[in-house]
Amino acid sequence: MTWMERHELLKYDPQALDPTVQSVLIAALSYAQTPPSPQKEGRVARYAWGRDYHKVFLKKLQTVSHSLSQHFPNEHFRAFTDTSPLDERFWAEKAGISFTGRNRLAITDSWGSWFFLGEILSSRLFTPTDRPQAAHRQCPSSCHRCWQSCPTGALSEKGLDARRCIAYLTIEHKGSIPLSLRSQLGDRIFGCDDCQEVCPFNHGVPSTTETEFLAWKAGPWVDLAGVLEIPSEDAFTRQWGGSPLHRAGFSGLRRNACLVAGNLRRFDLLPQLHNLTSDPDPVVAESALWAIQILESEQ
């Protein structure tokens, strides 16, 4: 994520991004859903169960932008979610809709942290008409459940060490996952929700009504054999295009599936893993070999 260094100065200064910006309009879109039981294999973080929010949320923000442009024809409005250099949690806090918890996520009273953030950069100066509420809230001083629950110890008083975060390792990281962190992945094939699941603000939160999230593409679990057997990059894109899982890439998703197969002691997947040891992608081949070694040492 070296782009973050390049964006450092822009995170808190929208006018450095676009000198005409006068207001940042912040929006939140819930993706809250409860996982059905029983548990299966290849756990997927909640935000990725349905259609990619970059598409779903951006479309909504663009509709609002378009409508604002019609009301204020001499002004500019640009919509983003996730992809702007701005630190969206910081701006959500400024807007008064949330505070940033010890899990480093934006939290509101009614939605916990199960929501996406997006923004519209506006050349028109909007003046808030109500008083920010949530920005005054904070984590209870005695609560450190998110730190305690993190499987890799990525959270501490220093903040989040992204290099240890399973969300980073399974989604953004290219190449092999460090040996010392592989077993902590457990059954997680894409992303991680542990520091949100334990948060008291996330209990009893109403489900999202967004149909694009409720209609699952990946859903809460992904069949490991299916991922290990994807024959080509084209087949990968056909299956996962439009889902957040596409972000991990053909290499990353198969790498993750190998490690999860090892962690879950999936002896029945040994044939697929053996096939992958001769894969042209060295990261996938090495991850398959790691899983085989774990399984064979226990047979």
Catalogue the active-site residues.
82
Tell me which long-range contacts 206-211 makes (C-beta under 8 A, separation of at least 24). Answer: 206/30, 206/32, 206/110, 206/111, 207/32, 207/33, 207/34, 208/29, 208/30, 208/31, 208/32, 208/33, 208/114, 209/30, 210/29, 210/30, 210/31, 210/50, 210/56
Q: Of ligand SF4, ligand B12, none, which one sits near residue 152, judging by CB under 5 to 8 A according to partner kind?
A: ligand SF4
In the bound state with ligand SF4, the residue whose beta carbon lies nearer, of 148 and 275, is 148
In the bound state with ligand B12, the residue whose beta carbon lies nearer, of 249 and 272, is 249
- Which stretches of the chain bind ligand SF4, using CB under 6 A? 101-103, 139-140, 143-146, 150-152, 154-155, 160, 165-167, 192, 194-195, 198-201
Q: Of ligand B12, ligand SF4, none, which one sits near residue 102, judging by CB under 5 to 8 A according to partner kind?
A: ligand SF4
Q: How far is the CB of 134 from ligand B12 (least distance, A)?
A: 12
Q: Of ligand SF4, ligand B12, none, which one sits near residue 47, judging by CB under 5 to 8 A according to partner kind?
A: ligand B12
- Which stretches of the chain bind ligand B12, using CB under 6 A? 1, 4, 11, 45, 47, 81-82, 84, 86-89, 103-106, 113, 115-117, 156, 158-162, 165, 167-168, 171-172, 191-193, 195
Q: How far is the CB of 187 from ligand B12 (least distance, A)?
A: 14
Q: Of ligand B12, ligand SF4, none, which one sits near residue 116, judging by CB under 5 to 8 A according to partner kind?
A: ligand B12
Given a contact cutoff of 8 angstroms between Cβ atoms, the answer to whether 199 and 101 are in contact is: yes
In the bound state with ligand SF4, the residue whose beta carbon lies nearer, of 105 and 230, is 105
In the bound state with ligand B12, the residue whose beta carbon lies nearer, of 115 and 250, is 115
Q: How far is the CB of 211 from ligand B12 (least distance, A)?
A: 19
Q: Of ligand SF4, ligand B12, none, which one sits near residue 96, judging by CB under 5 to 8 A according to partner kind?
A: none
In the bound state with ligand B12, the residue whose beta carbon lies nearer, of 20 and 156, is 156
